[in-house]
Structure 1
Amino acid sequence: MISSPFTRGRAGFLLTSLLAVVLVFAGFRAVPQADGFIQQLVRQLGRFYAATFPEKSYLHLDKTTYAAGETVWLKAYVVQAGNHRPDTLSRVLYVDLLSPDQVLVRQQLLRLRNGTANGDILLPDTLVQGRYTVRAYTNWMRNTSPDYFYDQQITVWHTPLDAVAPAIGERRGRVANKPAAARLTVQFFPEGGNLVTGLESTIGFKAVDANGRGVDVAGTIKDSRGRDVVAFKSQHAGMGRFQLKPEPGQTYQATVRQSGGAFLTMPLPTALPTGFTMKVMELKDQIQVYIQRQGGTGTAAAEAITLVAHVRGQVAYAGQGQVGTGTTFSARIPKNRFSTGVAHFTLFDSQNQARCERLAFVGATTPDLRIALQPNKARYAPREKVTLRVAVTDAEGQPVAGQFSLAVNNAQLVPASMEQRTIRSYLLLTSELRGTVEDPGYYFANPTYNTNLALDNLMLTQGWRRFVWKELLANRFGNYPYPLEQSLSVSGQVMNGQLLGSKETPAANATVLLLRFGTENQLMTTTTDSLGRFFFGGFAEQDTSRLLVRVQPQKGLRNPIVRLDQKVAEGAKNLPVLPLKAGSAEEVAYLQSSKRQQVMERQYSPDGKRILLQNVDVRGRREISDGRRLYSRADAVIRTADVPAANSFINVLQLIQGRIAGVQVTGSPPDMSVTIRGASSIMGSNSPLFILDGVQTDASIVNSLPVQDVESVEVLKGPSAAIYGSRGGAGVIAIFTKRGNPNYDPSTDPYAAAPLGMATYALPRYYPTREFYQPPYQQAGAQLPPNDTRSATLFWVPQIVTDANGEATVTFYTSDIGGEYRLSLEGITNNGLPGTGYGTLVVTGK
Structure 2
Amino acid sequence: MAFKPFQHRKNFMANFTHLASRHFCTGLGTVLLCGLAGLGSAAAQADASTDIARKLAEYEQRGPHEKIFLHHDRPVYLSGETMWFKLYAVEGTYCSPLRLSSVAYVEIINAEQQPVLQGKIELKNATGQGSFLLPTSMPAGRYTVRAYTSWMQNAGPEAYFHTSVTVINTLTSSGAGTKDSSTYDAQFYPEGGNLVQGLPGKVAFKVTDKAGKGIAATGKVLNQSGAVVATFQTQQLGMGTFNLTPTVAGQGAYTAVVTLGKNQVLRRLLPQTQDHGYVLRLEDTGADQLTVNVIATTMSPETVFLLAHSRQHPAVALQAQLVNGQAAFIVNKTQLLEGVSHFTLFNSARRPLCERLYFQAPKRQLAITARPSKAQYGLRDKVSVQVGTADQHTHFIAANLSMAVYRLDSLTTTQATAIDRYLWLSSDLKGAVENPDYYFTAPAAEAALAVDNLMLTQGWSRFRWEEVLTATPKPFEHLPEPNGLVVQGHVTRAGTNAPVQGVITYLSSPSRITHLSNSESTADGRVKFEMQQFAGTQNLVLQTAPQQDTTLQLTVLSPFSKQYASAVGSAFGLTGRFQLDYAKRHLQAQVQHVFAGQYRNRFVAQPVDSLSFFGKPNESYLLDKYTRFKVLEEVLREYVPGVLVRIRKDGFHLAVTDRLNKELFQKNPMVLLDGVPVFNMNKIMAMDPLKIQKLEVVDARYFHGVAAYEGIVSFTTYKGNLEGFQLDARALVQEYEGVQQQREFYAPRYETDQEKQSRLPDLRNLLYWNPELATSSGTTRPVEFYTGDQAGRFLVVVQGLAASGLAGSSSFVLEVKPAL
1:540 to 530, 533, 558: 533
1:839–1:249 CA distance, 2 compared to 1 (3 A): closer
Question: 1:415-434 deviations in whole A, cap 9, x for unaligned?
Answer: 5647x522122111211112
Aligned AA (1:579): A
Confirm or deny: 8 A CA contact 1:518 1:546 kept in the other structure: no
Q: Distance in 2 between the 1:733 and 1:598 partners?
A: 50
**Range moving further from structure 2, 569-578 or 336-345:** 569-578
- Aligned-partner SS, 2:193: coil
Aligned AA (2:809): T
The answer on 1:407 being equivalent to 2:415 is no
Q: Distance in 1 between the 2:453 and 2:695 partners?
A: 74
Q: Distance in 2 between the 1:495 and 1:529 partners?
A: 9
Q: Aligned residue for 1:28? A: 31
Q: Aligned residue for 1:566? A: 558
Aligned AA (2:315): A
Aligned AA (1:483): L
Confirm or deny: 8 A CA contact 2:408 2:793 kept in the other structure: yes
Deviation at 1:279, TM superposition (A): 1.0
- Aligned-partner SS, 2:166: strand
Confirm or deny: 8 A CA contact 2:103 2:485 kept in the other structure: no
Confirm or deny: 8 A CA contact 1:602 1:609 kept in the other structure: no
Equivalences for residues 126-525 of structure 1 within 5 A = 126-160=137-171, 172-175=172-175, 180-208=180-208, 212-247=212-247, 251-259=253-261, 261-283=263-285, 285-296=287-298, 300-331=299-330, 333-363=331-361, 366-412=363-409, 415=412, 417=414, 420-475=416-471, 479-492=475-488, 494-495=490-491, 497=493, 504-505=498-499, 507=501, 509-525=502-518
- Aligned-partner SS, 1:240: strand
Question: 1:295-329 deviations in whole A, cap 9, x for unaligned?
Answer: 44xxx332111111111122221111111335332
Q: Distance in 2 between the 1:721 and 1:842 partners?
A: 62
Superposition TM-score, scaled by structure 1 size:
0.79
Question: 1:236-281 deviations in whole A, cap 9, x for unaligned?
Answer: 4443221111125683222333436344434323332332211112
Deviation at 1:475, TM superposition (A): 4.9
- Aligned-partner SS, 1:192: helix
Aligned AA (2:73): D
Confirm or deny: 8 A CA contact 2:507 2:542 kept in the other structure: yes
Aligned AA (1:772): F
Aligned AA (2:284): E
1:584–1:392 CA distance, 2 compared to 1 (3 A): farther
Deviation at 1:201, TM superposition (A): 0.8
Equivalences for residues 377-776 of structure 1 within 5 A = 377-412=374-409, 415=412, 417=414, 420-475=416-471, 479-492=475-488, 494-495=490-491, 497=493, 504-505=498-499, 507=501, 509-529=502-522, 531-552=524-545, 559-580=551-572, 582-586=574-578, 588-589=580-581, 591-593=583-585, 595-596=587-588, 598-600=590-592, 602-604=594-596, 606-608=598-600, 633-634=630-631, 664-665=648-649, 683-684=663-664, 691=671, 693-694=673-674, 702=680, 714-715=685-686, 755=730, 759-776=732-749
Deviation at 1:76, TM superposition (A): 1.4
- Aligned-partner SS, 1:517: coil
Aligned AA (2:79): A
- Aligned-partner SS, 2:32: coil
**Range moving further from structure 2, 347-356 or 477-486:** 477-486
Q: Aligned residue for 2:608? A: none
1:248–1:157 CA distance, 2 compared to 1 (3 A): closer
1:179–1:491 CA distance, 2 compared to 1 (3 A): closer
Q: Distance in 2 between the 1:829 and 1:559 partners?
A: 54
- Aligned residues with identical type, % of pairs: 26
Confirm or deny: 8 A CA contact 1:714 1:734 kept in the other structure: no
Question: 1:666-723 deviations in whole A, cap 9, x for unaligned?
Answer: 6xxxxxx86699xxxx94568776745455868xx559xxxxxx9x665489999999
Q: Distance in 2 between the 1:744 and 1:554 partners?
A: 21
Q: Distance in 1 between the 2:574 and 2:185 partners?
A: 27
Q: Distance in 1 between the 2:814 and 2:693 partners?
A: 72
Confirm or deny: 8 A CA contact 1:404 1:800 kept in the other structure: yes
Deviation at 1:93, TM superposition (A): 1.8
- Aligned-partner SS, 1:397: coil
Q: Distance in 1 between the 2:736 and 2:512 partners?
A: 14
**Range moving further from structure 2, 784-793 or 431-440:** 784-793
Q: Distance in 2 between the 1:343 and 1:486 partners?
A: 29
The answer on 1:796 being equivalent to 2:788 is no
Deviation at 1:803, TM superposition (A): 0.7
Q: How many corresponding residue pairs?
A: 756
1:65 to 71, 76, 100: 76
Aligned AA (1:244): L
Q: Aligned residue for 2:118? A: 107
The answer on 1:78 being equivalent to 2:86 is no
- Aligned-partner SS, 2:158: helix
Confirm or deny: 8 A CA contact 1:293 1:324 kept in the other structure: no
Confirm or deny: 8 A CA contact 2:76 2:412 kept in the other structure: no
- Aligned-partner SS, 1:63: coil
Q: Distance in 1 between the 2:92 and 2:629 partners?
A: 56
The answer on 1:831 being equivalent to 2:804 is yes
Q: Distance in 2 between the 1:479 and 1:65 partners?
A: 42
Deviation at 1:12, TM superposition (A): 8.1
Deviation at 1:781, TM superposition (A): 5.8
Q: Distance in 2 between the 1:558 and 1:306 partners?
A: 59
Q: Distance in 2 between the 1:56 and 1:337 partners?
A: 23
Confirm or deny: 8 A CA contact 1:16 1:32 kept in the other structure: no
Aligned AA (1:318): A
1:347–1:99 CA distance, 2 compared to 1 (3 A): closer
Confirm or deny: 8 A CA contact 1:346 1:356 kept in the other structure: yes
Deviation at 1:343, TM superposition (A): 0.5
Aligned AA (2:562): E
1:733–1:200 CA distance, 2 compared to 1 (3 A): closer
Deviation at 1:342, TM superposition (A): 1.0
Confirm or deny: 8 A CA contact 1:310 1:343 kept in the other structure: yes
- Aligned-partner SS, 1:352: coil
Q: Which runs of 5+ in 2 are unaligned?
A: 37-42, 604-622, 634-645, 656-661, 700-710
- Aligned-partner SS, 1:441: helix
Aligned AA (1:269): P
Confirm or deny: 8 A CA contact 1:222 1:254 kept in the other structure: yes
**Range moving further from structure 2, 486-495 or 145-154:** 486-495
Question: 1:738-790 deviations in whole A, cap 9, x for unaligned?
Answer: x98687999xxxx98xx4xx544434343332333322223686586436544
Question: 1:175-202 deviations in whole A, cap 9, x for unaligned?
Answer: 2879832444433221111112221111
1:565–1:249 CA distance, 2 compared to 1 (3 A): closer
Q: Aligned residue for 2:134? A: 123
